[in-house]
């Protein structure tokens, strides 16, 4: 029987060292991710569409294995030339590279990180892509799908399980933050075209900006104090997840249903 071709469309492949450090930090510290990795008999993690260089898959393996030494990372790319280019970074069995796409090369990982993969897809293709990936996860597995800028200062991602998407997370390098809504250009594909009046994500970012403006006096104590006050104000107007420990890192998570497209 002929082997089926990997599912998906090749990405531009742009990547840089430390570009995905913000989502990696979240993955390494989020309780729901830690629970999945800790309970798994085989804690396999797939870095889907790692790009022209395997460096971000290498970094993901290092960061996750610091707290979960049993983790194995498999980098998947559609382009065989990219797989070949990444091979010098491979360190079997905890870091390997293979050709594959949304079908996950026949594996059953407990966690998939897919960053800057769906940006070129049509919005109406996103739900199908999510479902294709989630259907191939091990029971209880998670998909973390999102977008970031070229050097990782602005990031956003959606956490998806078998029950569907359940949270949106924003992450900022606070020292370069102008206003929170600048992340709009780096929203996941499911939301990036929805930042228009009348859509929940537009209302959310507008309220977040207004809280940021109101918290301006706290800048006298440093940008982090302004951000923490921004989030504190936001909690009175919008459901916010997690707590100060994550907020101090420039992170903010909200339930998916509060920002989901209408």
211-252 confidence digits (pLDDT tens)? 999 999 999 999 999 999 999 999 999 999 999 999 999 999
Looking at residue 9, what is its pLDDT? Answer: 67
pLDDT at residue number 14: 67
Q: Cβ distance 129 to 118 under 8 Å?
A: yes
The pLDDT profile of the chain, 262 residues, written as one tens digit per residue, is 344 666 666 666 567 789 999 999 999 999 999 999 999 999 999 999 999 899 999 999 999 999 999 999 999 999 999 999 999 999 999 999 999 999 999 999 999 999 999 988 999 999 999 999 999 999 999 999 999 999 999 999 999 999 999 999 999 999 999 999 999 999 999 999 999 999 999 999 999 999 999 999 999 999 999 999 999 999 999 999 999 999 999 999 999 999 999 9
Contact 248, 228 (CB under 8 A): yes
pLDDT at 4: 61
Half-sphere exposure of 50 (CA within 13 A, CB side): 36
Say what the pLDDT of residue 1 is.
Answer: 35
Q: Residue 2 has what pLDDT?
A: 40
Contact between 182 and 149 (Cβ < 8 Å): no
Phi then psi dihedrals of residue 9, to 5 deg: -120, 130
Would you state the pLDDT for residue 120? 85
Token code pair at residue 172? 């900022």
Domain with CATH 3.40.50.150 in the chain: 1-162
Per-residue burial over 185-201, b = 16 or more CB atoms within 10 Å of its CB, e = otherwise: ebbbbbbbebbeeebbb
Domain range 1-162, its CATH number among 3.40.50.150, 3.40.630.10, 3.30.365.10, 3.40.50.720: 3.40.50.150
Indicate the length of the chain as a whole number: 262
**What was the pLDDT predicted at 17?**
85
Our measurement of the distance from residue 177's CA atom to the centroid of its chain's CA atoms, rounded to an integer in Å, reads 19
């Amino acid at each position: 029987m002929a082997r089926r071709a990997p599912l998906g469309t090749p990405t531009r492949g742009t990547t840089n060292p430390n570009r995905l450090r913000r989502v990696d930090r979240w993955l390494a510290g989020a309780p729901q991710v830690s629970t999945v990795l800790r309970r798994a008999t085989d804690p396999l993690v797939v870095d889907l569409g790692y790009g022209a260089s395997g460096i971000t898959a290498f970094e993901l393996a290092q960061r996750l294995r610091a707290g979960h030494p049993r983790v194995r990372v498999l980098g998947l790319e559609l382009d065989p030339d990219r797989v070949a280019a990444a091979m010098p970074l491979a360190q079997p069995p905890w870091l390997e590279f293979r050709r594959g796409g949304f079908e996950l090369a026949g594996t059953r990982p407990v966690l998939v990180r897919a960053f800057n993969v769906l940006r070129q897809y049509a919005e109406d293709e996103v739900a199908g892509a999510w479902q294709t990936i989630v259907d191939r996860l091990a029971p209880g597995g998670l998909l973390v799908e999102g977008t970031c800028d070229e050097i990782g200062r602005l990031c956003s991602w959606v956490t998806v399980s078998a029950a569907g998407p359940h949270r949106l997370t924003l992450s900022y390098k606070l020292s370069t933050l102008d206003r929170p809504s600048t992340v709009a250009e780096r929203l996941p594909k499911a939301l990036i075209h929805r930042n228009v009046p009348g859509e929940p994500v537009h209302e959310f970012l507008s309220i977040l900006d207004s809280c940021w403006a109101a918290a301006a006096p706290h800048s006298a104590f440093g940008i982090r104090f302004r951000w923490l006050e921004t989030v504190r104000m936001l909690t009175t107007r919008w459901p916010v997840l997690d707590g100060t420990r994550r907020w101090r890192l420039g992170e903010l998570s909200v339930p998916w249903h509060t920002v989901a497209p209408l």
